[in-house]
Amino acid sequence: MRNESIVIAIPLIASLFIATLVFAGDSEPSAGAAEMPGATGTIEFKPEDWQEGVTSWWKDTDGIGPGVAGCHIGTDEEGEPNGRMFGEACLPDGRLVESNPGKDRVHSHANDTGHPDTFDCVLWCQGQGKSGGSCEAAPAPPCEASARCVCTD
């Protein structure tokens, strides 16, 4: 199992999104993504404004929907927004980072670290009956930047 931390800069739309992604071997997809075509596993994700030792609360605007750009909105335990947010992203290898677990479901991130799914957009699009696809930047208000799988016929 490989265990390495890297910091990457992912340009999305007009902003620069910086996050820490920790790849810890070949993780399994989340329960919601496990049966979806193109699901390649989860990664650890620390938002740009990561808060060490804090349990943070979040809700996702799109659930696990690789074809829809989503926004992960920071909340309190009751689901009230707190001003934090981050969008989905394309990794340098072309995979989509897709937040989970479900649309508008308030959930916690221990140590302010999430575990989003990753998707191979080519395989996901082929599972939708298309010939291929790619990860592309896309808006997802209220997030300034996000990403999604865009399929080709």
Tell me the pLDDT tens digit for each residue of 78-103. Answer: 999 999 999 999 999 999 999 999 99
Supply 58's token pair: 């979040």
Q: What is the pLDDT of the chain when averaged over all its residues?
A: 86
Confidence of residue 57 (pLDDT cuts 50, 70, 90): very high
Rounded CA separation 56/108 (Å): 6
pLDDT at 7 over 70: no
Rounded to whole angstroms, how far apart are CA atoms 99 and 83?
A: 18
Give the pLDDT of residue 26. 55
Q: What is the pLDDT of residue 104?
A: 95
Displacement of CA 152 from its chain's centroid (Å): 22
Residue 88: both structure tokens together:
């989905």
The pTM of the full predicted model, rounded to 2 decimals, is 0.83
- Is the preceding peptide bond at 116 cis, omega within 30 degrees of 0? no
User: Cα dihedral sign for 90, 144, 21, 98?
Assistant: negative
Percentage of residues in the chain with pLDDT exceeding 70? 83
- d(CA 136, CA 22) in angstroms, rounded, equals 22
pLDDT score for 5: 37
